[in-house]
Structure 1
Amino acid sequence: MQVEVHTPAPTPLQLVRKAFAPAVAPLETAFIVLVVTIFILLQREDLRDRFISVFGSEDLHRTTTAINDASERLSRYFVTQLGVNVSVGGVIAIGLAGIGVPGALMFGALSALLRFVPYIGIWIAAILATLLGAAIQPQWTMAVSTLIFFIVVDVVAGQFAEPMLYGRRAGLSPLAVVVAAIFWAWLWGPVGLVLSTPLTLCIVTLGRYVDRLNFLTILLGDQPALTPAQTCYQRLLADDPHEALLQANRLLTEMPLIDYYERVVFEGLRFARNDVLRGVLPAAQLARINQALLDIVEDLDSVSDARHASSNQDDALPEIPRDGRAVLCVPGRGAFDEVVVAIVCQLLARADIPCLATTYDEVRATRTGMVDVQTLQSMHAMPSTQSPQAAHLMQSTRVVCVASLDAAESPPYLRNLVRRVRERAPALPIIVGVRAVRREEGLSIADDAGTHLAATLRDLVEECGVALASQPEELAHKPANAGV
């Protein structure tokens, strides 16, 4: 006997269940998220206090600041995103109406709503509108026009409008936004994709206030990972002075040249000096860094004064008589002190202060030779004897400027250098910089009334200008052995 098994025809209820089965799981997730969100909003004050008690009851100030910072960033981000999405939806509605797509207003509202889903939301609306255009017009003109219109609107909004309007509101790097979207979408599906940016923003904000999570802010935040000084030194370590010069040109559009040297170069040299003291910087690499810095200083000599016109230092300096007087710049024996003197000479020249330069070894020698230089690159070929020109330059020295990165520590060799200069030129003022401070306890570089300390480059240039202008004229005619 033959048996046949027939599957009964599905009932209308079964057909409905089969049709809507793919949407059940996302709807369940959305419903759960909605319910949890409602309860969180109803008990937000209580949850806030519990969060503070668990994570930061011992430091209420930092915890409160972190919560306020995160809430402000999220509020600004959502308000800006809402404004952008509504604007994009309005533009799409107007454009689709012009193309002739039916239901343009509906597609505009759908586009504005779906743009809250990063990356894929807008294209869901675009595909639906394109399919509708292809269905009602067999020539494909409406479908192609609709698709091109969506592409143009999304590119303009995503590449121009959003970066300009968001700015640093989100505090996330573009790569962090992409990685966060992939991670949260993998973890929570479509809901994670929608919440990826807000959740990552909260984590990055938390890293700003929790030291152990600071690496998250560095990896995901939009702030530069390195300071300008660290970047400058890193480029020099990588033997890439061209990039260091490009960085200098960029920074000089925002700050005066003297501030660039103070905040970037000198701070970078502080890292380099620490590496020298630790013995991790080979002599060959040290020589390359010095040469690269001297080349950068020489290249920056052509920077227009208009770039640092905000520095009113020149206006504050007294008028210097043109009787041949000059400032003698003396470096210490630090690894980068020749670069420091090159910078000081350049800044003095920009302030219209005549300057000379010598070397540490020349000052220590019995006879001190000096040359008038723009940079210190040619100082290694100095004559070993005092020529008539050197003697004349000695007579023109009216102020001695000792420039060294070691001035802040007041090392014994630098104190001996200042003492040697004072013995050879008892009547001349001595300016010691940079970042030199007067010590209340212990030995100090400035042990007499004629020695002045300069904490910054700006102070150093000002001190040299004032001291040079205040010197009496008859000092210029003293014999050579009276000077340095």
Structure 2
Amino acid sequence: MGLPRATPEEIGPGRVGVVGAAAGALLVALVLAGLYLGRDILVPLALAVLLGFVLSPLATRLRRWGLPHVLAVIAVVAFALAMIGGSIAFMASEVRELSAELPTYQQTIKRKLASLREAIRAPGMFDGLTRTVTLVQREASDIAAAATATPSPSRVQKVEIQGESRSPLQNAMDGLERVASPLLTAGIVLVFTFLILLDRLDLRDRLIRLMGGNLHRATDAMDEAGERISSYLIVQLWVNLSYGIPMALGLWLIGVPGAFLWGAVAALMRYVPYLGPMISAVFPLTLAFAVDPGWSMVLSTLALIVVLELISNNVVEPWLYGSSTGLSAISLIVAATFWTALWGPVGLIMSTPLTVCLLVIGRHLPGLQFFDVLLGSAPALDAPTRLYQRLLSGDIDEAVELGRELAQEAGSMPAFYQDSALPVLRRAVTDYQTVSTSEHRLRLITGMEALLEELQELAPASAGATPTVLCLGAKWEVDTLAARMLAHALTLEGAPAHADPALANSAESLAGVAMQAPRAVCLSVFAPEPWRTARRACRRIQRRWPGARIVVCSWNIGDQAQVDPALAESLGAHAIAGSLVEAVLRARESLGADTAEWERASVPRDDAQRLRLLRSLGALDEPAMNELCDHAAKRAAAIFDVPAAMVTVVADNEVRVLGFHGSLRTTVDGQDSVINSGQAFQVAREHALCGHVIAQNEALLVPDIAQDPRFAANPHLRGLGLRFYAGAPMRMKRGGAIGSLCLLDTAPGHLTERDLKLLQAMAQDLMDAIAQRRPQADVEAADADAPNEQEPSATVGQVVPDP
């Protein structure tokens, strides 16, 4: 009979955690040992994979041109060998010429060294100090020698041990072994590279099978790893060339012998992170020192190297790299040290691609997400969480400084309140009953009050305006803090408001409010059950100020698509708002203010050419075009899983819908309705979001229209109840957008950067299909009139860098 097996509950969580940590440490040790002990095989394999990433696009291009797969791989490998062999031959020839010239520089080197020696030995200001230190050292050495000296009974005879003499054959074998080792490694790399290129698809399938689990996640991981590594290698090539070519030309103009050799060495050595540029700089500096009897060539060479390093590190690399790897700076340094310790110089060269693979694995495999956190360049915490942590730590100065930075990045104070400050208070309310302590709550309230005072000084409201809006908290101090934010935002938006510390859940507290007749009262509520709290508070406010219109600002309702208007009436309020943008809008409505302050679509400069191109395509009057656009809208709605999608163009300052698919269920003025055609979206250009896409010729993503200050007050969008919009322009070859492919929803949504690029690609495919339906001569004639504009990148409210 076996012994009963203990359960984790019986063992205890502490011991289970210790066992798990020990198992994890053992696994890490085994992996590191395998990487170190197997470096003779793993290093050539890793080099072959790296070369495979570089050569695979060329092999794929040859296959598309009709060359058989095997012949394409052979041609690519032969081309790579020819390039490497040619480079080695060129460098060997240059080295041979320099070797022949070096003896002529010996006299110059001797004279310079002699002059340096004389300069060092010449009397100087530190001679007295040097002699004193030398004297003290000599005396100390004599005393130590006298203390340890022992009488020698006999004379000591020196014995010299000579190494074993080696025959010429043994020396030749040692030299052959030193040469054969790198040649053998190169041969293994060549064989691995050929096999990887030959069976690339099969190897990818096997790796996906090994990753197991979700096939979509494994495919995305492989694609992202390939894109990032290929992008890094291509960008690295351009960076190296942008450094090596100016280096060669500069050294040639200065007169340094072998200028093009040193330029090539500088370009190659930049593949070695950190150490490569320093090593490559030694050779031209040494040669300039040897050639020129004076110091002008050395100083000119040093100035050239410094200028090129500054330009490359501060201009070229940030411009070209962007976020091509997605690695943080510290992770690059740690990775370089780690892989160098394991695999030597080859590990230093390959540290970035290998670390990129770990980053991608951590991004797509849940069990290894710590790699993404440790290695990635993206912030580990989002802006609200960072601010929340600073407040909880009690470091008010640091929290205020971070708040100022986030407010400047947001571009406006209301945007900062909406995106950072209110989420902090929402997080604090969530943690109130679970993990927060009394000290944490005090730190949060104190720090947030200091931050709000600082921000009000940073963006002061105009003096002299009489407040017409009263902002009150319902129950807690966090409600009052949100009311202060709202009052500040309202005042900055032209609706003077006052935030009072009184709480609306107490009649005695309301009686002490100094403001006598506010036209509107904004009630800030963070309660878990906001409607019960709001109903009682609204009754007290109505009794205190009978003529005031009440706006309930429930910050916890989040992304609810629709709020039933009957709910506001049952609470005794004029309106309900779930975001700061919506609260400002509802408060202005309560005051009877003009709410038509929204961003209108502009007219592009080339609108006349765009209209000629649109008419030449026949997109406005051909039924076949409507069928094609309906099909594109149907496909987009299915792929992105949205209720509706459409294809639009702008003709004569009016948006026309060429294709529509789906239906949108919305509530307008308390009445449920369904939008199942594109007729509702055929309005003036300035009212339509598609007008912005066409005018800016770039993709537009609005996750929640009700919370976007640019479009929240748009009467057309509010009348439709539209909350989510994503649109991509349909561009012709020479630039200029004639239409857009759009995604629509009455609930807030979101698209990733990759999804937005896919939407742009689908819009461009539709544009190509439309162009193919017309005679090529007509399209080219109309397209030739359009200005040649550079194609802008897709944006999500701001510029998004490529991965």
Shorter-chain TM-score category?
0.7 to 0.9
Contact 1:235 1:243 in 2 (8 A): yes
Output the CA distance in 2 between the equivalents of 1:237 and 1:64: 41
| Residue in structure 1 matched with residue 373 of structure 2 by the alignment | 218
| Residue in structure 1 matched with residue 427 of structure 2 by the alignment | 271
Output the CA distance in 1 between the equivalents of 2:299 and 2:591: 77
Output the CA distance in 2 between the equivalents of 1:134 and 1:20: 35
**Alignment of 1:231 onto 2:386:** yes
Quote how far apart the aligned CAs of 1:45 are: 0.8
| Residue in structure 1 matched with residue 279 of structure 2 by the alignment | 124
Matches within 5 A, 1:34-433: 34-56=190-212, 58-137=213-292, 142=297, 146=301, 149-255=304-410, 256-278=412-434, 280-283=436-439, 285-303=440-458, 326-361=468-503, 364-366=506-508, 368-371=510-513, 390=514, 393-394=515-516, 396-406=517-527, 409-410=529-530, 412-422=532-542, 428-433=548-553
- Compared CA separation, residues 362 and 415, structure 1 to 2 (3 A): closer
Contact 2:456 2:488 in 1 (8 A): yes
| Residue in structure 2 matched with residue 474 of structure 1 by the alignment | none
Output the CA distance in 2 between the equivalents of 1:101 and 1:164: 30
Quote how far apart the aligned CAs of 1:30 are: 4.1
Which 10-residue stretch deviates more, 20-29 or 260-269? 20-29
The runs of 5 or more residues in structure 2 that have no matched partner are 1-161, 594-803
Quote how far apart the aligned CAs of 1:229 are: 0.5
Structure 1 residues 21-42: Cα deviation after superposition (integer angstroms, max 9, x where no partner)? 5555455444433332332122
| Residue in structure 2 matched with residue 459 of structure 1 by the alignment | 582
**Alignment of 1:434 onto 2:557:** no
Structure 1 residues 390-448: Cα deviation after superposition (integer angstroms, max 9, x where no partner)? 4xx33x22322211222x6426444422343345556543211133548999x967625
Aligned-partner residue type, residue 587 of structure 2: C
| Residue in structure 1 matched with residue 702 of structure 2 by the alignment | none
Quote how far apart the aligned CAs of 1:457 are: 0.6
Which 10-residue stretch deviates more, 139-148 or 184-193? 139-148
Quote how far apart the aligned CAs of 1:90 are: 0.9
Output the CA distance in 1 between the equivalents of 2:375 and 2:210: 25
Output the CA distance in 1 between the equivalents of 2:232 and 2:460: 40
Identity over aligned pairs, percent: 35
Contact 1:29 1:191 in 2 (8 A): no
Output the CA distance in 1 between the equivalents of 2:485 and 2:540: 24
SS of alignment partner, residue 401 of structure 2: helix
SS of alignment partner, residue 519 of structure 2: strand
Output the CA distance in 1 between the equivalents of 2:189 and 2:529: 61
Output the CA distance in 1 between the equivalents of 2:525 and 2:180: 73
User: Which has more strand, going by share of residues?
Assistant: 2
Output the CA distance in 1 between the equivalents of 2:531 and 2:187: 71
- Compared CA separation, residues 70 and 84, structure 1 to 2 (3 A): same
- Compared CA separation, residues 80 and 353, structure 1 to 2 (3 A): same
Output the CA distance in 1 between the equivalents of 2:258 and 2:509: 93
Higher relative contact order, structure no. (Cα contacts within 8 Å, ≥ 6 residues apart): 1
RMSD across aligned C-alpha pairs, in angstroms? 3.3
TM-score of the superposed pair, with normalisation by structure 1: 0.77
- Compared CA separation, residues 362 and 60, structure 1 to 2 (3 A): closer
The runs of 5 or more residues in structure 1 that have no matched partner are 307-321, 372-389, 471-484
- Compared CA separation, residues 328 and 122, structure 1 to 2 (3 A): closer
Output the CA distance in 1 between the equivalents of 2:583 and 2:333: 49
Which 10-residue stretch deviates more, 77-86 or 99-108? 99-108
Quote how far apart the aligned CAs of 1:211 are: 1.9
Aligned-partner residue type, residue 343 of structure 1: M
| Number of corresponding residues | 424
Quote how far apart the aligned CAs of 1:44 are: 1.0
TM-score of the superposed pair, with normalisation by structure 2: 0.48
Quote how far apart the aligned CAs of 1:148 are: 5.7
